[in-house]
């Protein structure tokens, strides 16, 4: 299909791929997701509580949701919070379902009634089904080092102890071997309102004890903005070896309403999304200054995405009752694509990332309403990037083309090369101008395909009534490896071009 372009003649954009300048590997961990016991994410979205009968754990995850997520894919999944993690006691979620306590949980100032039917075994079973690596967030706010050590022993120890016998009694003899452990969440705020120095010392205590239980566990310290991050690492000084990843979060909040946004709002959101890469770069500098060669600390952007005013707890636009659900449009999908491109470029310092959140909450790729389930614009943007996962990122530079009012290029891309061949994903950020895009630098078999995500209106999205209003469609591509390739991109659109093997 040739994209229907209206308006003034297209500006020619040229993007050059440089296959001989590998940046690094795009770890599957950069395409992670986040499931919190918040709103309808875990209960109702992932987990169908209505099906809970007796103690049988099989088959309670929503099959439609699991299948759609499997296709996405979901290489990494963080659980159970978020702010919820610092109220969560893991023992509440093991053993016979009928005997599990019903607890009052808390996240984002929202009280959560939790029957604990989705606990450790169920979550780890979901990860196995999805092919996702689990990432467990521990409780520092109301927990103790002993409680987190016990969870680690329960999940990972191969030894014969009361806890590992209990694990076996609950249906899992072999260790789960969970690598990633968060030591609290947002401990500068909901996770206990610590100051950086106090939290750093608390972290040191937790991490020391956790390492005794499983020296190969990768520990994630809770970061925030630059000052907190620098103070944290300075305080740890000689003990910085206890840190494997530094967690940071980013939520874009400046793009106006979820659907009724103006052109200025549109650009404001995309600018904020692009700023995520700058935040990663800044954090990498802080880590390098503090840890230098002493320790390689990765950046864990373990919550990111757009947080529209309708899904905020406070403010005139807040939807009531508050569920943290929001509309998801093509504009949000473009913001995701631009952010993923930054992840590819920063793949040597960014070690993991989790979009917030996986179902029904914030920038969810999947939404549900009763029996209905639909894939959002964000889902399709992620899916259009799947070929980059585990490939080698290579530079893709815009040499010429339209410039936005902030001086940046309107059409940008990110390329990778690997077992699938070469892939480039391209965003035309221009609100109302199409672009003729020329791509050079591929070396392939001469085969090329392209897929496009576009709509007349950037506020277009899917919903329960029209679940497939916005879906990727094939896009016509002309050219060859020697002379370069050409596509026409509509305004506010995203495309992925795939070229055959280059060897
Ligand atoms: O994702 C929603 C919330 O945002 C998380 O619980 C918290 O970590 C962050 O403030």
Residue 206 · residue 243 · CB < 8 Å: no
Instruction: Name the percent of the chain lying above pLDDT 70.
Output: 95
Three-state SS string over 339-370 comes to: HHHHHHHCCCCEEEEEEECCECCCCCCEEEEC
pLDDT given for residue 416 in this prediction: 98
Instruction: Name the percent of the chain lying above pLDDT 90.
Output: 88
Enclosing H/E stretch for 497: strand 493-499
81 CA closest ligand 1 atom index: 6
For residue 59, pLDDT over 50 is answered with no
Say whether 303 is catalytic. yes
54 φ/ψ sector (left φ>0, alpha ψ -120 to 50, else beta) = left
For residue 239, pLDDT over 50 is answered with yes
Q: What DSSP assignment string belongs to 91-150?
A: GGGSS-GGGS--EEEEETTEEEEE---S-HHHHHHHHHHHTPEEEEEE--SS--HHHHHH
Q: Whose CA is nearest to atom 6 of ligand 1?
A: 82
Among 61-75, 220-234, 284-298, the range scoring the smallest mean pLDDT is: 284-298
Q: Of the listed 133, 277, 303, 310, which one is catalytic?
A: 303
The whole-chain average pLDDT of the chain stands at 94
| Separation of CA 83 and ligand 1 centre (Å) | 6
Distance CA 286, CA 291 (A): 8
Say whether 147 is catalytic. no
pLDDT given for residue 228 in this prediction: 98
- Give rounded-to-5 percent helix, strand, coil for the chain: 30, 25, 45
Q: Please compute the mean of the pLDDT values over residues 392-402 and round it to a whole number.
A: 94
Strand pairing category for 76-79 and 133-138: parallel
Q: Whose CA is nearest to atom 7 of ligand 1?
A: 82
Strand pairing category for 11-17 and 435-440: parallel
Residue 450 · residue 498 · CB < 8 Å: yes
**What residues contact residue 131 under an 8 Å CB cut-off, 6+ apart?**
70, 73, 74, 75
Q: Whose CA is nearest to atom 5 of ligand 1?
A: 82
* pLDDT classification of 10: cutoffs 50, 70, 90: confident
pLDDT given for residue 50 in this prediction: 58
pLDDT given for residue 52 in this prediction: 52
Helix axes 145-156, 196-213, angle to 10 degrees: 30
Enclosing H/E stretch for 484: strand 484-489
| Separation of CA 423 and ligand 1 centre (Å) | 33
Enclosing H/E stretch for 162: helix 162-169
Beta strands in 361-428 (DSSP E): 366-369, 372-375, 392-394, 396-400, 411-418, 421-428
Distance CA 424, CA 174 (A): 41
**Residue from 34, 35, 36, 354 to probe ligand 1 pocket by mutation (most atoms less than 8 Å from CB):** 36
pLDDT given for residue 8 in this prediction: 58
Residue 342, SS3? helix
Enclosing H/E stretch for 182: strand 180-183
Beta strands in 215-282 (DSSP E): 218-222, 245-252
Which residues, judged by CB distance below 6 Å to any ligand atom, belong to the binding site of ligand 1? 36, 38, 81-83, 107-108, 185-186, 303, 356-357, 362
pLDDT given for residue 41 in this prediction: 95
| Separation of CA 15 and ligand 1 centre (Å) | 37
Q: How many Cα neighbours within 13 Å face the side chain of 498?
A: 17
393 φ, ψ (degrees, to nearest 5): -70, 135
**Please, which residues bridge with residue 120 across strands?**
none
Distance CA 500, CA 472 (A): 20
Cα Rg for the chain, rounded, in angstroms? 23
pLDDT: which is higher, 394 or 49: 394
For residue 278, pLDDT over 50 is answered with yes
* pLDDT classification of 487: cutoffs 50, 70, 90: very high
What CA–CA distances, in Å, run from 163 to 94, 167, 172, 242? 11, 6, 12, 25
For residue 55, pLDDT over 80 is answered with no
For residue 465, pLDDT over 80 is answered with yes
pLDDT: which is higher, 8 or 36: 36
Among 2-6, 14-18, 205-209, 459-463, the range scoring the smallest mean pLDDT is: 2-6
Tell which residue, 402, 455, 452, 454, has the closest CA to residue 430.
402
**Residue from 77, 83, 220 to probe ligand 1 pocket by mutation (most atoms less than 8 Å from CB):** 83
Q: Whose CA is nearest to atom 9 of ligand 1?
A: 82
For residue 6, pLDDT over 90 is answered with no
Residue 248 · residue 229 · CB < 8 Å: yes
Distance CA 125, CA 244 (A): 25
Distance CA 389, CA 113 (A): 37
Q: Please compute the mean of the pLDDT values over residues 265-270 and round it to a whole number.
A: 98
Distance CA 245, CA 70 (A): 26
For residue 169, pLDDT over 50 is answered with yes
For residue 5, pLDDT over 70 is answered with no
**Residue from 185, 356, 363 to probe ligand 1 pocket by mutation (most atoms less than 8 Å from CB):** 356
* Tens of pLDDT, residues 110-157: 888 899 999 999 999 999 999 999 999 999 999 999 999 999 999 999
251 CA closest ligand 1 atom index: 4
Q: What DSSP assignment string belongs to 187-212?
A: TTTTTT---HHHHHHHHHHHHHHHHH
pLDDT given for residue 503 in this prediction: 45
Bond preceding residue 211 cis, omega within 30 of 0 = no
Tokens read off for 494: 């995203």
272 φ, ψ (degrees, to nearest 5): -65, -40
* Tens of pLDDT, residues 402-447: 999 999 999 999 999 998 899 999 999 999 999 999 999 998 777 8
pLDDT given for residue 458 in this prediction: 98
Q: Of the listed 36, 186, 218, 258, which one is catalytic?
A: 186
**Please, which residues bridge with residue 357 across strands?**
none
* Tens of pLDDT, residues 213-228: 999 999 999 999 999 9
* Tens of pLDDT, residues 65-111: 999 999 999 999 999 999 999 999 999 999 998 899 999 988 888 88
* pLDDT classification of 1: cutoffs 50, 70, 90: very low
């Amino acid at each position: 299909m040739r994209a229907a372009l209206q308006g003034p003649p297209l500006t020619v954009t040229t993007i050059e791929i440089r296959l001989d300048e590998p940046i690094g590997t795009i770890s599957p961990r950069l395409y992670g997701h986040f499931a919190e016991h918040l709103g309808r994410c875990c209960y109702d979205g992932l987990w169908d509580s209505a099906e809970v009968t007796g103690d049988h754990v099989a088959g309670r995850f929503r099959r439609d949701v699991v299948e759609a997520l499997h296709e996405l894919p979901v290489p990494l999944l963080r659980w159970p919070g978020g702010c919820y993690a610092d109220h969560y006691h893991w023992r509440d979620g093991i053993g016979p379902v009928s005997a599990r306590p019903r607890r009052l949980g808390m996240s984002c100032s929202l009280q959560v009634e939790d029957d604990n039917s989705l606990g450790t075994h169920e979550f780890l079973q979901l990860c196995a089904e999805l092919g996702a690596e689990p990432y467990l967030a521990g409780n520092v706010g109301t927990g103790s080092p002993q409680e987190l050590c016990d969870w680690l022993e329960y999940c990972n120890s191969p030894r014969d102890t009361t806890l590992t016998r209990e694990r076996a009694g609950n249906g899992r003899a072999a260790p789960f071997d969970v690598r990633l452990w968060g030591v609290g969440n947002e401990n500068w705020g909901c996770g206990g309102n610590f100051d950086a120095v106090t939290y750093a010392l608390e972290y040191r205590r937790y991490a020391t004890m956790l390492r005794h239980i499983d020296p190969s566990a990768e520990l994630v310290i809770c970061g925030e903005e630059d000052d907190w991050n620098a103070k944290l690492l300075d305080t740890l000084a000689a003990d910085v070896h206890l840190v494997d990843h530094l967690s940071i979060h980013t939520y874009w909040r400046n793009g106006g309403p979820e659907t009724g946004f103006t052109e200025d709002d549109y650009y404001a959101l995309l600018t904020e999304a692009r700023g995520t890469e700058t935040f990663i770069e800044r954090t990498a500098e802080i880590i390098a200054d503090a840890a230098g060669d002493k320790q390689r600390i990765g950046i864990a952007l373990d919550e990111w995405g757009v947080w529209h005013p309708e899904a905020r707890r406070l403010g005139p636009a807040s939807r009531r009752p508050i569920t943290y659900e929001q509309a998801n449009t093509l504009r949000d999908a473009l913001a995701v694509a631009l952010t993923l491109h930054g992840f590819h470029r920063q793949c040597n310092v960014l070690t993991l990332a989790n979009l917030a959140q996986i179902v029904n909450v914030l920038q969810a790729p999947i939404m549900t309403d009763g029996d209905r389930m639909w894939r959002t614009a964000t889902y399709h943007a992620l899916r259009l990037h799947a070929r980059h996962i585990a490939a080698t990122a290579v530079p893709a530079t815009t040499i010429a083309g339209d410039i936005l009012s902030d001086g940046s290029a309107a059409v940008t891309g990110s390329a990778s090369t690997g077992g699938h061949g070469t892939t480039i994903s391209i965003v035309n950020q221009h609100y109302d101008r199409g672009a003729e895009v020329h791509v050079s630098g591929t070396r392939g078999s001469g085969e090329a395909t392209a897929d496009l995500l576009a709509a007349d209106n950037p506020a277009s999205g899917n919903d329960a009534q029209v679940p497939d209003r916005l879906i990727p469609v094939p896009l016509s591509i002309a050219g060859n490896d020697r002379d370069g390739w050409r596509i026409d991109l509509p305004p506010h659109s995203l495309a992925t071009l795939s070229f055959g093997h280059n060897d």
